[in-house]
Structure 1
Amino acid sequence: MAASFDASKPIYKQLASQMYWRILREEWKPGEKLPSVRDTAVEFGVNPNTVSKTYSEMERDGVVETKRGQGTFVTENKEVLFKLRESLKQEQISQFTKEMKAMGFSAEDILSGVEHYLKGEDHD
């Protein structure tokens, strides 16, 4: 099933982001082998070269390791995975707060809304 991508951002970066989320949700556990480039390309409906670039980017970030002749594996380095988790958390918080401020909400409004939401008071 082909994924939908935002035309304003490079596909390989969006693909890496989706894969990072899978790693953080432990759909792929530390030390686990990632699907092949070809299988990933088919799953996301992208060119295999895009997947190769994504895997290279993830390797540069230290999140995956390529073992010659064996494939690409999620790192077992807990510090790298912790930093990835924190980085993605900050990204989400930043995006959320920018959007809320753009709508005119104050920091107090945002905090109050989040607190109410987490307490279950504003869930749909």
Structure 2
Amino acid sequence: MFDLDVRSRKPIYEQLVERFKVLIINEVMKTDEQLPSVRVLAQQLTINPNTIQKAYRELESQGYIYSIKGKGSFVSETKHAINTEKLEKVKSDFKKLVSEALYLGMTAEELQAYISDIEKSIGGGEQDDSSS
């Protein structure tokens, strides 16, 4: 289920958080689906249960999952709110980067061409209006 890189500089709990986010965002894990228990996942991955617990707490604080005492952790329904929040951050970061590129001498036309190249390289993105 998870490929963890024990030699990576990224902490194991962060790797777990990222893997769960990918599964939830890509709807491999559905709304209200139960996550594996901390104990079971720790045994499967042969890592400390505290690491799993830390990853679950992080996912819960970010709104990806919710916990029910005595029952376990489940996938949250608030996916669209999470995407909206994330998109706002990306837009803010993008504005800063575009401003810096313009300041450094890049033209608006060069930026548009660059964005088009990126869009082509990723297959038009998720919101493509089938113009391919």
Q: Would you call these one fold, judging by a TM-score over 0.5?
A: yes
Deviations 1:4-60 (A, max 9, x none): 146322221221011111001111111111111123224444221100111011111
Among all aligned residue pairs of Structure 1 and Structure 2, give the percentage whose two residues are the same amino acid.
32
> How far apart in 2 are the matches of 1:5 and 1:108?
40
In 2: Cα distance, 1:61 partner to 1:116 partner: 31
Q: Which amino acid aligns with 2:118?
A: V
User: What residue in structure 2 maps to residue 103 of structure 1?
Assistant: none
TM-score, normalising length: structure 2: 0.62
Higher relative contact order (CA 8 A, sep 6+): 1
TM-score (norm 1): 0.65
CA contact (8 A) 1:2 1:43 kept: no
Q: How does 1:82-101 map to 2 (within 5 A)?
A: 82-83=83-84, 86=87, 90=90
Structure 2 residue matching 1:62: 3-state secondary structure: coil
Deviating above 3 A after TM superposition, structure 1's stretches of 4 or more consecutive aligned residues are: 42-45, 78-81, 83-87, 106-110
Distance (Å, rounded) in 1 between the aligned partners of 2:116 and 2:83:
28
Q: How does 1:47-58 map to 2 (within 5 A)?
A: 47-58=48-59
Aligned in 2, Cα 1:83/1:115: closer, same or farther, shift over 3 Å? closer
Q: Quick check: 1:2–1:46 contact (8 Å CA) kept in 2?
A: no
* 1:111 aligned residue (112, 115, 127): 115
Tell me which residue corresponds to 2:9: 8
Which residue number corresponds to residue 107 of structure 2? none
Matched, 1:69 2:73: no
2 CA distance for matches of 1:84 and 1:22?
Answer: 19
Unmatched segments (≥5 aa) in structure 2: 98-109, 125-132
- RMSD (Å) for aligned C-alpha atoms: 3.2
